[in-house]
Every structure is written in structure tokens, then in C-alpha cells.
Amino acid sequence: MQQPEKIQPADGKLAVFLPGLGAVATTFVAGCLLARRGLAQPVGSLTQMGTIRLGKRTDNRSPKIKDFVPLAGLDQLEFAGWDLFPDSAYEAAAHAEVLEGKHLDPIKEELHAVKPMTAAFYPEYVKRLHGTHVKSLQTKADVVEALREDIRRTMKEKGCSRGTAVWCGSTEIYVEASAVHQSIASFEKGLLENDPGIASSQLYAWACLKEGIPYANGAPNLTVDFPAAQQLSREMATPISGKDFKTGQTLMKTILAPGFKARMLGLNGWFSTNILGNRDGEVLDDPQNFKTKEVSKLGVLEHILQPAHYADLYGHLYHKVRIEYYPPRGDAKEGWDNIDIFGWLGYPMQIKVDFLCRDSILAAPLVLDLALFMDLAKRAGFSGTQEWLSFFYKSPMTAEGLYPEHDLFIQSMKLKNTLRWMMGAELITHLGNEYYD
């Protein structure tokens, strides 16, 4: 990344494109509408509530992040989405049962106005869903063209000068990058030939990049994590980032594990299981879709604990992750962790975590932060993978050959230092305090 000479201002309206208008997307839209009317607080959002320290601790300068970097304001956002069900954002939110009437009623009309456009949806990638609100065209190339037309029309109708996209659609079956994903030319040939390696989510990403719209991937799907997407991102000077919102159990894992490691406590086992009953849980009940999620969730500990460097402490860790679909719970997921640790002389201890969380309440602020930071990245002239946004992801994408950084605290420091660097402010290394000045 090159330090930006100038960051374009965040003037005008910003269209937020949401492929997948389900629980997370509607909770996000509703929250933004409520927050901009002053009816609720955007809790959990770094861009809205976070501060950033500048200079020495004695300088007492800690502006809000949104006052330090030029971000679009909540009142500049316009929302648009696609889904294979025709329900408006109000109907989808009511169906998801995340938010109560006291939060939905005041913004009912505005939510109703967000009606999904027909989806790019091939059922073989998400077998549990059967929707009719889909584009039926001959080739995947035709579908990309139709999505591009949707984007252009929306921007025009809503009077937006820029757009930003965050995938909030379902987790697809596990797809690995293949020959079709290696270059722009091979991918575009694959689109014409309906190559089965090109899943629905990749069509949205391709359409967005072609339109110069930054693309953030909230699911563990392959989507933009392959060479052709990287190339297109660079060619279009449009950033990409992913994968999989870091919420719930994985958030806890990336908070706890760095602490154990910092204190040189050993780990023998970490068993994680979840019950959830929303549509996401139903989709993940299919083993092929669960596999995509499992890969995303399992990578976390390996990279934080570095067993190759700490064989005595982490060389024999047994790590297992399960997700069980349990309809009575709806969106109120429960995540249990049994952690077998050991201390001085190898004496064993156990930690049990029972996180009664709300999945979409944890994910919604990440959609907002990613939408705003990706727009900022575009205006700063960045392209390719935005590793400084790893903070928000369970399975962060990296430049080729690098391992992902999973430790939440390193991710947080990297994000804030990137913001300081973008604005030409001094980086904070936590040296240079009163002892060293």
C-alpha cells in the first residue's frame, strides 16, 4: 500500500449494497436508521464509538475515529440489497425476530422501502434454500451484466456518488480456487461457460469490482479470495476484504487465546459447540456448507498459538468445532467452550465459557464499519486485500505467502496505526513513554 497523497472527501451519498437481505443485513439497516434518528446507540461499532490516541499520552488527544478520518456519515447512507426471497427489509427483519417491535415500528416505512432486487442464485451452492426471486438468464456472464445494471440503476435512482458492498448472504458449500480462478481472462471465460467453480457470491463480487465498488465478504465463501479477483481489484483500483465476520465464539477465542499465549500457559484441548436456530443455522446444517464454516473457524488457534515455535505448550492441542441447528433458539445463539489448559509443572486446569449471544446484534456493527472503512480505502486509492481490516474477520485474507493475523489486539493496533499512517500522524508503538522521552 502506498501512503495516500490525498484522500478524496466523503461528499455525497454512499450506496451500501447488501447481497443477502436476511437477519444480519436487516439488523444492520435498522440500526443505522435508528441511530441516525437518535433512537438507539450504534454499540459495537468502532467507526461510530471508537477513539484513537494521537501523540504522547500526556498530549491528551483522543478524537473519535469518525472525526479523525473522513468517513461517510450515517445520514449519507442509502441501502440496497438482493435476495432470493422478495420480502422487504421490514418483512425480513420481522421474520428474523432479532429486533423487537419497539425498534422496528418507528422505522417501518423506511425498512419497507428497501426491497431486494432479484438474486444471482444457483441452488447447488446453498441446497437448503428454495427461493423464486432470482435472475434466470442463460450464462453466469449474463447474470454479472444484470447485477451491474442493478448497481448502476440503484446509484442513479438514489442519487449516490459512490457505492460499497458487504456480502451478508448465506454460507455456500466449500469451493476451492481452481484453474478458472487464476486470471481475469480464465474467470471471464468461465462466466460464459457456466463453470461450476464460480459460485453465486463470486458473481456479485465480480459485478461490484467491475463497477468500481469495494467488496467486503462477511461469509467464509471463496468469493474474492483468488488471484483473478485480486487482479481485477488492482486493475479497477477497488479494494477487497474478507472473510467471515468475527463474532460470537470466534471473537471470544481470539480474545482469550492471545492471553494464554502471552502468559505462556499451555493448552491441551479446545472444544467449541454452538446451538442456533436461525436461517444461517439451517443452511449450516448441511455438511457441505458447514465445511466452509469449519475451515474458517479452525484456522484461528493455529496462527495465534504458533505450535511450531511453542511445541511444549501447544504442540498437542486438540481443537474441535461443532454447530448444531436447534430451531427454538432462533438468532439467540449459545456457544459453549471447554478449554483444557495447563500451568506450572504441567498441572491441568479447565475454563468453561458459555456465551449466550445474539448473532446478528454482534455482526451488524461490523457491516457498518466495513462499509465505511472500505469506502475510505477506495477514496485513499487502495486496492487489493485490505489486511488492516482483519480485525473484523474470522478468517482474514492476506497477501500471497503470508499467514493471517488472528490476535484481536494485534489486529486492533494494526487498524489504528493504518489510520494514523493514512492521515500522516505519528504511529504509536507503546515505546516512547515517560521513561524513554
Which residues form the interface with ligand NAD (CB under 6 A)?
19-24, 82-85, 96, 119-121, 126, 129, 131, 168-171, 200, 218-219, 244-245, 247-248, 278-280, 359-360, 362-363
Degrees (nearest 5) of the Cα angle 320, 326, 327? 150
For the bound state, the minimum distance from the C-beta of residue 168 to ligand NAD, rounded and expressed in Å, comes to 5
Which CB sits closer to ligand NAD, 337 or 383? Answer: 337
Q: Enumerate the H helices of 132-217 as residue ranges.
A: 140-158, 184-192, 200-210
3-state secondary structure of 376: helix
For the bound state, the minimum distance from the C-beta of residue 374 to ligand NAD, rounded and expressed in Å, comes to 16
For the bound state, the minimum distance from the C-beta of residue 70 to ligand NAD, rounded and expressed in Å, comes to 28
Which CB sits closer to ligand NAD, 110 or 285? Answer: 285
Name beta bridge partners: 318: 269
CA distances from 274 to 79, 260, 338, 356, 408 (A): 31, 22, 12, 10, 21
Which CB sits closer to ligand NAD, 82 or 174? Answer: 82
Q: 231: which DSSP letter?
A: H
For the bound state, the minimum distance from the C-beta of residue 159 to ligand NAD, rounded and expressed in Å, comes to 24
Q: Which residue is nearest to ligand NAD (CB)?
A: 22
Which CB sits closer to ligand NAD, 14 or 23? Answer: 23
Which CB sits closer to ligand NAD, 55 or 287? Answer: 287
- Of 150, 19, 44, give the one whose Cα is nearest residue 368: 44
Which CB sits closer to ligand NAD, 228 or 357? Answer: 357
For the bound state, the minimum distance from the C-beta of residue 112 to ligand NAD, rounded and expressed in Å, comes to 16
Strands of 221-310 (E only): list them.
239-242, 266-276
Amino acid identity of 110?
E
Which CB sits closer to ligand NAD, 126 or 372? Answer: 126
Which CB sits closer to ligand NAD, 83 or 369? Answer: 83
Q: Are 369 and 392 in contact (CB under 8 A)?
A: yes
For the bound state, the minimum distance from the C-beta of residue 361 to ligand NAD, rounded and expressed in Å, comes to 8
Residues 6+ apart with CB under 8 A from 295: 174, 220, 395
Place of cell 449519507: 76
For the bound state, the minimum distance from the C-beta of residue 235 to ligand NAD, rounded and expressed in Å, comes to 25
Q: Are strands 215-217 and 160-167 parallel, antiparallel or unpaired?
A: parallel
Which CB sits closer to ligand NAD, 34 or 332? Answer: 332
- Of 182, 254, 208, give the one whose Cα is nearest residue 400: 182
For the bound state, the minimum distance from the C-beta of residue 182 to ligand NAD, rounded and expressed in Å, comes to 23
For the bound state, the minimum distance from the C-beta of residue 219 to ligand NAD, rounded and expressed in Å, comes to 3
Backbone φ, ψ for residue 275 (5° rounding): -120, 135
Distance CA 132, CA 121 (A): 9
Q: 435: which DSSP letter?
A: T
